[in-house]
């Protein structure tokens, strides 16, 4: 296989989709009645506020989000996730975001979604975008088999802040690739939490940026992309 000339990395929440899939899944679990509405809603809102300020305890957050998954079979979870996709996510996937991904795919760029949201939530979303490689926070299963029930625990390095660089590096190493082997490396993200990885690539793109990232991008002369201006 010919080595791709360029690398295209994409954050997911508020970057390729105009919502936070992790936060919305929490709300969906409340709707399904599989978590206590009052306590989980307060916890979910608190974690989301911490993420926005850059003070999120990623391990505490993942424990809170993964523990409910351990109480149900994968078959049941997959049925609920399909409803989640149909009702919440698919209506929010916009042509502008799909076109951005297709542009890189047509150029034969190596594409990857790099998100702090767990893989159970994000894997079906990556499939909609046609992106085969997903780097996400990984949930442990009982016997290590990908289709087994979840334990409620995290495995590996969370793909959050500097952890995104570590996870991308490990992926490239596993493919026999190096940053220096690409003519251009792109990373599209909305969040100031992703500044470490944005600084690692040759072509950082602040995409629908939050206020902190917008100011930082302007100070560095980075490209700013508004995918959702019409929404």
pLDDT of residue 19: 96
Q: Are 212 and 220 in contact (CB under 8 A)?
A: no
pTM of the model: 0.94
- The residues carrying an active-site annotation are 11, 13
pLDDT at 229: 81
pLDDT of residue 231: 46
Task: Write the DSSP symbol of residue 69.
Answer: G
User: Which SS3 state, helix, strand or coil, does residue 1 take?
Assistant: coil
Residues of the chain with pLDDT under 70: 1-2, 230-231
Tell me the angle at which helices 95-106 and 119-129 cross, rounded to the nearest 10 degrees.
70
**pLDDT tens per residue, range 58-74:** 999 999 899 999 999 99
Q: How far apart are CA 132 and CA 33, in angstroms?
A: 32
Looking at residue 212, its pLDDT comes to 96
Q: Which domains does the chain have, with CATH numbers?
A: 6-225 (3.40.50.1000)
CB 4 within 8 A of CB 41: no
- In whole angstroms, how far apart are CA 14 and each of 10, 21, 47? 11, 9, 16
Per-residue model confidence (pLDDT) at position 2 = 64
């Amino acid at each position: 296989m010919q080595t791709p000339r360029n690398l295209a990395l994409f954050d997911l929440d508020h970057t390729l989709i105009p919502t936070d899939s992790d936060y919305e899944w929490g709300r969906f679990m409340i709707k399904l009645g599989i978590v206590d509405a009052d306590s989980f809603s307060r916890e979910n809102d608190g974690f989301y506020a911490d993420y926005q300020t850059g003070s999120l305890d990623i391990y505490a957050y993942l424990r809170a989000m993964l523990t409910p998954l351990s109480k149900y079979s994968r078959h049941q979870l997959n049925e609920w996730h399909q409803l989640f996709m149909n009702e919440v996510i698919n209506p929010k996937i916009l042509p502008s975001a799909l076109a951005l991904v297709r542009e890189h795919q047509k150029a034969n760029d190596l594409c990857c979604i790099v998100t702090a949201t767990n893989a159970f939530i994000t894997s079906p979303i990556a499939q909609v975008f046609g992106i085969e490689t997903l780097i996400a926070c990984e949930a442990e299963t009982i016997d290590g088999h990908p289709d087994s029930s979840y334990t409620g625990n995290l495995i590996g390095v969370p793909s959050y802040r500097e952890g995104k660089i570590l996870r991308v590096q490990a992926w490239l190493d596993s493919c026999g690739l190096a940053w220096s082997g690409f003519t251009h490396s792109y990373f599209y993200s909305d969040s100031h939490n992703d500044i470490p990885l944005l600084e690692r690539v040759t072509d950082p793109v602040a995409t629908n940026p939050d206020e902190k990232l917008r100011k930082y991008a302007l100070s560095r002369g980075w490209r700013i992309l508004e995918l959702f201006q019409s929404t």
